[in-house]
Amino acid sequence: MRKSAIILLALLFCFESAARNLVNEIDRAEESKIQPQPIRAVQVNTLEFDNLNQLSNWLKNLKSAGVNTIIVRVFQNPGDGFHKICVPEAPGGVYFQTTSAPVVCDLVGILSQESHKAGLKFYAWMNTRSADYGWEARTDLHSWAYALESRRYEPQNRLCVFHPEVQERLINLYSDLAKNSIDGVLVQDDLMLKHNEDFHPLASHLYLKERQKVACPDLFFKVIESSGKKIVKDYTAEFWEWNDWKINKLLDLADELRKAVKKKKPGVKFGLNFYYETALKPEKGKAWFSQDLKKASERNYDFYALMLYHRQMSEELRITAEDLNSAIELASRNFLDMFSSSGSAVIKLMSKDFHNAEIIPEDELTSVIKCVPSSNRAGLIFFSTQPGQELELKNLIFIWEGKNNDQTNQRAFSESRPSSILQSPKP
């Protein structure tokens, strides 16, 4: 009798275990059919909260506003404000445990935990070439730029991506970052090289080895004098070959960083920042920043973030409000069309003025959104936001998605282009 009971219990246990496994398999199969929700994120430069309770309440409010992701700076450089919810133990470094850089404080794990409690995903915003912590005086580890006036090479304030020590540090940093319960990584926009950078001896040697070409400024730049200052008038065919090589090398490093992250956490999303010129004026994006959207698209990153900061565009391009509308439409259309099949395109809008910290009015951002073609719209990031903007964020997300939020402002969405974004055109 006892033996029969034992056998019966064993059979019941096996049946229960098999049933549980079957249910789990069904759940996973159903999850795989669900299309991932496009990112609706706020990107935060500095957390101004005094305690976790304040942070927790804000995260819940963001969730209620339709935000599904928060992106927070996890590095500390000169000029950056410290996150207030922890006591800094170093003047510069990172906000997670690592032996590859100074640790300001171990904050990433706490932030991801609080984000998850609120139903949000947590993305870490991490730098690359500006992570020279403790190496500020190591000019051998920094990139070299060619100065047009002096015709000399000068060490710069950012790291040389061609140096093995630099590569090792960055790979280790990203690997350590991925030990935390993060959902994504957004690479800082410092993964770029200017048109007169990098003439570091290691870079020049590698270029000669791989392309059998000499990296020489006289072969690259057509220099003229304008208003008593030497400027680059044009670029030669030799420059574009060197530039193409630099672009590929930067993407190779990005690939290594992605590999380091996904080795620790395969499901973590990995994406890069791109300057607006890469979509508006691709040749200038290549020359000025060594960024090429087409080449990057071939690397199949999880997402691509275009920094479509309208006030910055107006200032730098020195164009009228109407021309700014056209520029935003063209850049966003080119960008969205390139990634239409994958849905990996993310548009970044500035929600706070970079110069005076003014919160940009909702109507102004609405006008920007209406310049973005409604077809192929995917991800959306607001940079940078602060508490109190939740209602505006909710309205703007509704407009981005082509919805009418009757419960808030009763404004109907219109596909028509605005007459202007900025009240006063740039002179």
Q: What is the pLDDT of residues 127-175, one digit of tens each?
A: 999 999 999 999 999 999 999 999 999 999 999 999 999 999 999 999 9
Enclosing H/E stretch for 313: helix 310-317
pLDDT tens profile 99-130: 999 999 999 999 999 999 999 999 999 999 99
| Residue 32: pLDDT over 60 | no
pLDDT for position 53: 97
Confidence tier at 24 by pLDDT (50, 70, 90) = very low
| Residue 181: pLDDT over 80 | yes
The candidate with the shortest Cα–Cα distance to 49, out of 75, 78, 16, 86, is 86
Confidence tier at 178 by pLDDT (50, 70, 90) = very high
pLDDT for position 30: 44
Q: How many residues does the chain have?
A: 427
Alpha-carbon distance of 91 to 93, in angstroms, equals 7
Least confident of 256-260, 343-347, 386-390, 412-416: 412-416
| Residue 372: pLDDT over 90 | yes
Residues 6+ apart with CB under 8 A from 2: none
Alpha-carbon distance of 154 to 49, in angstroms, equals 41
* Helix/strand/coil for 41: strand
The radius of gyration of the chain's CA atoms, rounded to the nearest angstrom, is 25
Residue 150: is it exposed, middle or buried by C-beta count within 10 angstroms (0-12/13-18/19+)?
exposed
pLDDT for position 206: 99
CA dihedral 192, 198, 201, 203 (to 10 degrees): 50
Task: Check if the beta carbon of residue 381 is closer than 8 Å to that of residue 42.
Answer: yes
Average pLDDT, the chain: 90
pLDDT for position 405: 54
| Residue 9: pLDDT over 60 | no
* Euclidean distance between the first and the last CA atom of the chain, given in angstroms as a whole number: 96
Confidence tier at 408 by pLDDT (50, 70, 90) = very low
Residue 307: is it exposed, middle or buried by C-beta count within 10 angstroms (0-12/13-18/19+)?
buried
Residue that wins the pLDDT comparison between 341 and 162: 162
Q: Mapped to the 3 state alphabet, what secondary structure does 169-223 carry?
A: HHHHHHHHHCCCCCCEEEECCCCCCCCCECCCHHHHHHHHHHHCCCCCHHHHEEE
**Residue 75 β-bridge partners:** 94
CA dihedral 59, 65, 69, 75 (to 10 degrees): -50
| Average of per-residue pLDDT across 271-282 | 98
| Residue 4: pLDDT over 80 | no
The candidate with the shortest Cα–Cα distance to 61, out of 50, 383, 53, is 53
3-state helix, strand, coil in the chain (%, to 5): 40, 20, 40
Residues 6+ apart with CB under 8 A from 346: 39, 41, 271, 303, 304, 305, 306, 378, 379, 380, 381
List of E strands, 203-328: 221-226, 229-235, 269-275, 303-307
What pTM does this model have? Answer: 0.87
Residue that wins the pLDDT comparison between 16 and 202: 202
pLDDT tens profile 243-271: 999 999 999 999 999 999 999 999 999 99
Backbone angles phi, psi at 307, to 5 degrees: -80, 85
Report the half-sphere exposure of 347 (CA within 13 A, side-chain side): 32
Backbone angles phi, psi at 81, to 5 degrees: -75, 145
pLDDT for position 12: 47
**% of the chain exceeding 90 in pLDDT:** 83
pLDDT tens profile 379-407: 999 998 889 999 999 999 999 999 865 44
Residue 215 to residues 84, 240, 330: CA-CA distances in angstroms?
A: 46, 11, 34
For 413, other C-beta atoms within 10 Å of its C-beta total 16
Question: Strand pairing of 93-94 and 75-76?
Answer: antiparallel
pLDDT for position 124: 99
| Residue 43: pLDDT over 70 | yes
pLDDT for position 6: 47
Q: What angle do CA 198, 202, 207 make, to 5 degrees?
A: 70
Residue that wins the pLDDT comparison between 81 and 15: 81
Confidence tier at 421 by pLDDT (50, 70, 90) = low
**Residue 186: both structure tokens together:** 């957004």
**Residue 28: both structure tokens together:** 């996973």
Confidence tier at 37 by pLDDT (50, 70, 90) = confident
Confidence tier at 343 by pLDDT (50, 70, 90) = confident
pLDDT for position 35: 56
Which amino acid, one-letter code, is at 367?
S
List of E strands, 28-141: 40-44, 69-73, 75-76, 93-94, 121-126
Q: Mapped to the 3 state alphabet, what secondary structure does 226-237 carry?
A: ECCEEEEEEECH
